[in-house]
Amino acid sequence: MAENTQTDNFEQFLLSNKLLSQEDFDRLKQESEKKGKTVAALIEEQKILDAQTLAKARAAFLNIPYVSFEQTKVPQELVDLIPPDTVNFYKLFAFEKNGKSLKVAMVDPTDIRALEALEFLSKKQGLSLELYATDQVNFDRVVHPSGNVSKLVGEALANIAQTEKREQDKKQSESQQNAQVQQLIQEDAPISKIVDVIMTNAINGNASDIHIEPEDNLVRVRYRVDGILHNALELPKSVQSAVISKIKILSNLKIDESRLPQDGRFHFETDQKKVDLRVSVLPNVNGEKIVMRILDKSTKVPTLEQLGFRGKSLEWTLDNIKKTHGIFLITGPTGSGKSTTLYSLLSMLNTTEVNIITLEDPVEYFMDGVNQTQINPDIGLTFASGLRSILRQDPNIIMVGEIRDKETAELAVQAALTGHLVFSTLHTNDAIGALPRLMDMEIEPFLLVASINVVAAQRLTRKICPDCKKEIPVPAELKKKFEQELSNIHQEELGDIDMKNMKMYAGAGCDKCGKTGYKGRIAIVEVLEINKKMQDMVLSKAVPADILAEAQKIGMVTMEQDGIIKVLQGITTYEEVIRVTTE
């Protein structure tokens, strides 16, 4: 009786809050009596309200929190605290445990039998319960993270098995078999759905890369989020070829070529985003490994301040991009955000008065008003050959994706000395290291100092999640180290940091950040502006340490110093600074 009363009250709650019209309410009430189902069940069944809206309404009705797990991974050991039969029958699961307190999410918190089962289990284990409302999508996301994939894989396997049986006695040639596999993949919805699920989950989870990695007995799928790889799901080995081939078809690659690396690209849309995916296929001992870089077309190019430039680094950068000629270099390893910084600089310079031409490998973001060229070494379009052609296109500003060799370096210097502003990247550990690196490419020191305006170096650190950020004590030895590292920093670089009362922060881990304590990334940066004194030092072949000392005298902040400042500002953690500066 109590259950019916609570159900009736919830139905009235939906009506009074205008989530349900009177007409629908009356109709559903009649149907519920005939079918023996609750109005709420019929609402969900007939999709009058989506599952999330209905779950949030239940939460409001019961005055309990609603919880989503879109960006949160619940450890399996927490889910296992409740027997799987109970979890699946009542659609509930544990997601957080603090001492004797257990947080439980329920798809239907009005279910009296589910509440009684929970009460029995909590008493048995000596736990107190905190109830939360969730929806079916989030239940499946946590309890069956690859449940839909598994179901689709099963269907795909069945279809593949039937096809193999039909063709078993035909003894087709290898080419005929490849054609059949291609047709199967194009037409077989389950394989397409598996690929869709992999990509959609990655995009909605703000991943930057998807790794599909064949192993001995399975295929592992991992997502890179905020620079760190996380396991996402595992697929049966039996669908490896079909999944790989489906991605190759989407990327316009050869599905019958499995011995050589291939690169491609395709467009994909979810309900929330439109993205391009840059695909790299690499043969390995267990099959072909695929990495897909997600390029979000809806994301605006960030400003330098948003990227993490500040103080002298920002000032020198802004001053030097106003020049009409010279080279602006950005250095750092792969994945350090160099391309994003280049796009940010170009977006600031992109006006109708200038002709900007780029050479990229690959083109990651498309910019209106910028002439972007994708290099293609297979047909002879390299950075060097492309740069020669660009110089005949009347450019004001040139962006070369990377200086990889002597010829490209020489042409970049030539372009800078003939009145062009050139932006490019270089693989060195720090800003100072770019100078000897270019001399190793046989660029004469006198040409180097005449052409280089600025060298910036950067790394990406994860930012502390603002929703679970908390102050932590600063260890005495770390306080001493920070004081030593920042002793030669100009006061204006420190801003409002109180060196006598240092503060540090960390993320405790919450639903918003997937329990990691981090959300988003920011660059730690150093910018070297080449002045007359440094030019003379380069010409006299001074060692890099002496050039660095001179740069610091005029205000240069090193990457580690910039990282420490961002630690004391509560933006990132020292563990992150160490991680990215010692890689």
3-state secondary structure 337-391: CHHHHHHHHHHHHCCCCCCEEEEECCCCCCCCCCEEEECEHHHCECHHHHHHHHC
CA dist 403 and 435 (Å) reads: 13
pLDDT in tens, 136-153: 888 888 887 654 444 444
Whether residue 106 is predicted with pLDDT greater than 60 in this model: the reply is yes
Comparison of pLDDT for 20 and 250, the residue scoring more: 250
Looking at residue 375, its amino acid is I
Place of tokens 């940010």: 344
| Band of pLDDT at residue 274, cut at 50, 70 and 90 | confident
Residue 108 C-alpha from the chain's centroid:
33
Distance in Å from the first CA to the final CA of the chain:
64
Whether residue 35 is predicted with pLDDT greater than 80 in this model: the reply is no
pLDDT at residue 314, rounded to an integer: 96
Whether residue 554 is predicted with pLDDT greater than 50 in this model: the reply is yes
Contact 565, 526 (CB under 8 A): no
Radius of gyration of the chain (CA): 29
CA dist 491 and 445 (Å) reads: 34
pLDDT at residue 190, rounded to an integer: 77
pLDDT average, residue stretch 95-109:
91
pLDDT average, residue stretch 463-469:
94
pLDDT in tens, 171-200: 444 455 455 444 544 445 578 888 988 998
pLDDT in tens, 91-100: 999 999 998 8
pLDDT at residue 1, rounded to an integer: 36
Looking at residue 209, its amino acid is D
| Band of pLDDT at residue 352, cut at 50, 70 and 90 | very high
Least confident of 42-46, 223-227, 228-232: 42-46
Whether residue 8 is predicted with pLDDT greater than 70 in this model: the reply is no
Contact 505, 569 (CB under 8 A): no
pLDDT average, residue stretch 291-313:
90
CA dist 309 and 456 (Å) reads: 10
Tokens of 311: 């103080």
pTM: 0.66
Contact 19, 53 (CB under 8 A): yes
pLDDT at residue 572, rounded to an integer: 96
pLDDT at residue 189, rounded to an integer: 58
Residue 134 phi, psi dihedral angles, 5° rounding: -145, -170
pLDDT at residue 166, rounded to an integer: 52
The DSSP element (H or E) to which 448 belongs, if any, is helix 445-451
Please report which residue ranges of 233-310 form alpha helices under DSSP H: 240-250, 304-307
Whether residue 219 is predicted with pLDDT greater than 90 in this model: the reply is yes
Whether residue 438 is predicted with pLDDT greater than 90 in this model: the reply is yes
Looking at residue 95, its amino acid is F
Structural domains in the chain, sorted by start: 2-141 (3.30.300.160), 165-296 (3.30.450.90), 304-581 (3.40.50.300)
Residue 208 C-alpha from the chain's centroid:
3
pLDDT in tens, 555-579: 999 999 999 999 999 999 999 999 9
